[in-house]
Amino acid sequence: MQKIRKISTFKLILALLAIIIIAVLLVLAYLFLTPKLINIGSTNMEPTLHKGSTVTFLPYAAFSYQPERWDVVLYQNKGGDNSIGRVVGMPQETIQLIDGELYINEDIHPLPAKLTQAGIRYRAADEFRQKKDGKKVTHQTGHDEYFILGDNTAASFDSRYQGAVPRDSIISSVMKLY
């Protein structure tokens, strides 16, 4: 005859705890390591991203991603909503938009060929470009801030209106799926 082995209550609780911890870790891994999809709900990024397009982003990228100029990013705007825009100004820069041209630190900064070929020109909002006394208005990004614009500046409520975006509000870069 075989002996029936008793499992102590303590060992049973430890085994159940281990199973629960593994299950929680698997769920967290799924939530943070799998790409997430977003449907574009506005025209602010046309012609790059059209209303109804789908983009993907990696949630964990917020911890390791370093934005670069011209990246298309998902960020949380000052109203707390998620927005998509293009990084135009980097930390510690002075930005001006004059007659469809981008000036960074008082020098003209040409857009990449793929943007100009798509017909993208960043236009100043009247409030951003000129004050009533005729002076051109500049925008200064701080130590850890980025200037983000929509590619369709006529339909974008972006850094021209809301100011620079802190790094911790940038969630991830995005990639177009379809």
Whole-prediction pTM: 0.78
- What's the maximum distance between 2 C-alpha atoms anywhere in the chain? 101
Cα–Cα distance measured from residue 44 to residue 47, given in angstroms and rounded to the nearest whole number? 9
The tally of domains found in the chain comes to: 1
**Residue 11 placed within a domain:** no
Q: What CATH number does the domain containing 98 carry?
A: 2.10.109.10
**What domain range is 99 assigned to?**
36-176
pLDDT for the residue numbered 26: 93
Confidence category of residue 70, pLDDT binned at 50, 70, 90 = very high
**Residue 57 placed within a domain:** yes
pLDDT for the residue numbered 128: 43
CA distances from 122 to 103, 144, 159 (A): 11, 23, 12
